[in-house]
């Protein structure tokens, strides 16, 4: 059984219509102020930031997006005999699961945009319910249980990753035989450091990304081709026993 870890970043979902953040045409480059909408300190302190953030989610593509060829290729590898696949994703869109990866095999390092959480009592509920309230006129919906501020169940800038999720990801990076970092700038820590952990523990490291990353020098293979065609070809080659 070959254990394959896939670290997936924003570039994996661009073919599904979800813009990345840091790429040449990324959201932060087009609108630097947009970063405040997903920064915890700004979000909690400023009702106007929260209103803009809810409007962004209501109008955004995430909940309407569907898996693309890259997501499908990962799920197909997981179903192939002789492979154990684990996805460590920086994405919050849930598209790996929609493509067929079981929940238990996907670690959402930065949380999920498909749920909301109360910053007071911790209650969770579906994002769709919160957005229905926004569409009905509640521009900054509060928790119905305790009245506190609601936020998406994502890890915003200024928040720490869940230590349990990160710990499991480190274990996978140490144990895998192949580690594929795809569609990630490998600049956001601590998630990016998983590539280095895998390489240090003997995994074959493959980087698939349009732009250079800090971990290219450690990689056994670097692929600059479009992810929608490059990742399926890479995983098919792996499945068929190619190097």
Number of C-beta neighbours around residue 197 at 10 A:
19
CA 109/CA 236 separation, integer angstroms: 26
Residue 169 in tokens: 């990801």
Cα dihedral across residues 94, 99, 104, 107: positive or negative: negative
User: Whose CA is closest to 152, among 50, 66, 65?
Assistant: 50
Inter-axis angle of helices 47-59 and 127-135, to 10 degrees? 100
CA gap 117, 111 in Å, rounded: 11
Among 234, 241, 192, 243, which residue's Cα sits nearest to residue 74? 234
Could you say which of 71, 96, 110, 201 is catalytic? Answer: 110
Respond yes or no: is residue 201 known to be catalytic.
no
Tracing tokens 């399926």 back to the chain, one arrives at 232
Active site residues: 110
């Amino acid at each position: 059984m070959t254990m394959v870890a896939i670290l997936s970043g924003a570039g994996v979902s661009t073919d599904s219509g979800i813009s990345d953040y840091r790429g040449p045409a990324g959201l932060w480059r087009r609108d630097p102020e947009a970063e405040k909408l997903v920064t915890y300190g700004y979000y909690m302190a400023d009702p106007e930031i929260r209103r803009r953030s809810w409007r962004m989610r209501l109008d955004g593509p995430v909940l309407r997006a569907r898996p693309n060829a890259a997501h499908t290729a990962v799920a197909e590898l997981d179903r192939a005999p002789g492979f154990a696949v684990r996805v460590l994703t920086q994405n919050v869109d849930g598209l790996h699961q929609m493509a067929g990866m079981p929940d238990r095999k996907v670690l959402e390092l930065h949380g999920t945009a498909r749920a909301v959480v109360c910053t007071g009592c911790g209650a969770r509920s579906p994002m769709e319910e919160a957005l229905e309230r926004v569409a009905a006129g509640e521009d900054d919906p509060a928790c119905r249980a305790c009245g506190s501020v609601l936020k998406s169940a994502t890890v915003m800038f200024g928040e720490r990753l869940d230590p349990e999720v990160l710990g499991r990801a480190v274990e996978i990076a140490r144990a895998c035989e192949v580690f594929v970092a795809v569609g990630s700038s490998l600049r956001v820590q601590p998630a990016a450091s998983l590539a280095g952990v895998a390489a240090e523990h003997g995994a074959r490291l493959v980087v698939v990304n349009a732009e250079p990353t800090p971990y290219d020098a450690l990689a056994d293979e670097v692929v600059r081709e479009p992810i929608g065609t490059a990742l399926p070809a890479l995983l098919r080659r792996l499945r068929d026993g190619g190097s």
